[in-house]
């Protein structure tokens, strides 16, 4: 028994995954010093590209993601649009929120503050996964600030472990990632997000791994999960008047493609672009296939 306990302790010691050095991460992943700003009492990482007088597009990433996941779309849209993408607090290289508040209400408060800071009265909002939930909730509650809406495999409907009106239980395996997150384990958890797992290259895995090891990031991700309390989305979706494009991979193993029918039923001004064989991240995995429809929609 003592020998077995010692092996467990040694295994935990060798698997322990400390935070990365913040300066090293910023040198690797921040494109310009001006991309780090102070907003609402926290340090936010953003990129603002394209003509400043062009129609604005704001991109909100999903759980565990960062502004980098929008790179192909941002490049394609920046010729005709002002494209703003940012890391949610405690994700990518945005600092954890000192308030400890990771609710959707706080995310929308920050989105409003960012638009005001940048002098943007109205924008088209693009959101992926939980960023999609934030985007459509923002469009329903602040219609005067939203031109068009692009929802990429958006979150919002109940699913096993996420019921309406109830905070989810965080699995022990997720809690343990605070201390143990070797890159091979992260790669295993990321592979199901892609219709073609071979798309998940070593470089892409390294980027996800590095940014999840930013100081405070893992605690913030767990806090965001704990503070997610879903509400019945239908009444809010029915209030949205902004023209809406749904982009969804038919091989999505994270949020079922079948959910797209629920959105189309509830949203009077929505249409769907479906992508056969593509998983949960079409903006990464199938940028060349998905971008033209987004460009045409945002014209």
Read off the pLDDT of residues 226-280 as tens digits, 9 standing for 90 and up.
999 999 999 999 999 999 999 999 999 999 999 999 999 999 999 999 999 999 9
pLDDT confidence bin for 70, thresholds 50/70/90: very high
pLDDT of residue 2: 41
137-175 in b/e burial notation, b at 16+ Cβ within 10 A? bbbbeeeebbbbbbbbbbbbbeeeebeeeeebeeeeeee
Q: What is the average per-residue pLDDT within 66-78?
A: 98
pLDDT of residue 5: 38
pLDDT of residue 103: 97
User: 296 pLDDT exceeds 60?
Assistant: yes
pTM of the predicted protein model: 0.94
Q: How far apart are CA 3 and CA 11, in angstroms?
A: 12
- Which residue intervals of 46-171 are DSSP H helices? 71-77, 104-118, 130-141
pLDDT of residue 258: 96
Q: What is the average per-residue pLDDT within 130-138?
A: 98
In the CATH scheme, what is the homologous superfamily, with its name and number, of domain 18-298?
Answer: Alpha/Beta hydrolase fold, catalytic domain (3.40.50.1820)
How many C-beta neighbours within 10 Å does residue 10 have? 10
Which three-class secondary structure state does DSSP give residue 255?
Answer: coil
User: 88 pLDDT exceeds 80?
Assistant: yes
pLDDT of residue 146: 98
pLDDT confidence bin for 51, thresholds 50/70/90: very high
Q: How far apart are CA 239 and CA 141, in angstroms?
A: 8
Q: What is the average per-residue pLDDT within 12-36?
A: 89
Across the chain, what does the average pLDDT equal? 93
Q: What is the average per-residue pLDDT within 109-132?
A: 98
pLDDT of residue 71: 97
User: 3 pLDDT exceeds 90?
Assistant: no
Residues 176-196 have pLDDT tens digits of 899 999 999 999 999 999 999
User: 133 pLDDT exceeds 50?
Assistant: yes
């Amino acid at each position: 028994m003592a020998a077995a306990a010692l092996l467990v302790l040694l295994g935990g010691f060798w698997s322990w995954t400390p935070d990365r050095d913040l300066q090293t991460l910023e040198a690797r992943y921040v494109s310009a010093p001006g991309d780090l700003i102070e907003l609402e009492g926290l340090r936010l990482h953003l990129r603002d590209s394209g003509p400043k007088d062009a129609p604005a597009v704001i991109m909100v990433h999903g759980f565990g993601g960062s502004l980098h996941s929008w790179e192909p779309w941002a490049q394609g849209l920046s010729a005709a649009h002002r494209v703003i993408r940012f890391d949610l607090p405690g994700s990518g290289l945005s600092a954890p929120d000192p308030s400890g508040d990771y609710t959707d209400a706080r995310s929308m408060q920050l989105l409003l503050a960012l638009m005001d800071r940048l002098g943007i009265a109205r924008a088209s909002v693009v959101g992926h996964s939980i960023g999609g939930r934030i985007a459509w909730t923002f469009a329903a509650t602040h219609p005067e600030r939203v031109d068009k809406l692009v929802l990429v495999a958006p979150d919002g409907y109940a699913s096993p472990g996420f019921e309406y009106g109830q905070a989810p239980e965080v699995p022990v395996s997720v809690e343990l990632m605070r201390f143990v997150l070797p890159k091979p384990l992260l790669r295993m958890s990321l592979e199901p997000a892609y219709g073609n797992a071979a798309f998940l290259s070593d470089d892409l895995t390294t980027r996800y791994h590095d940014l999840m090891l930013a100081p405070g990031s893992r605690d913030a991700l767990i806090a965001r999960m704990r503070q997610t309390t879903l509400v019945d989305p239908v009444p809010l979706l029915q209030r949205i008047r902004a023209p809406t494009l749904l982009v969804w991979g038919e091989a999505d193993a994270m949020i079922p493609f079948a959910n797209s029918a629920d959105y189309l039923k509830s949203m009077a001004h929505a249409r769907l672009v479906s992508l056969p064989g593509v998983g949960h991240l079409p903006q990464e995995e199938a940028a060349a296939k998905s971008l033209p429809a987004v460009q045409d929609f945002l014209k």
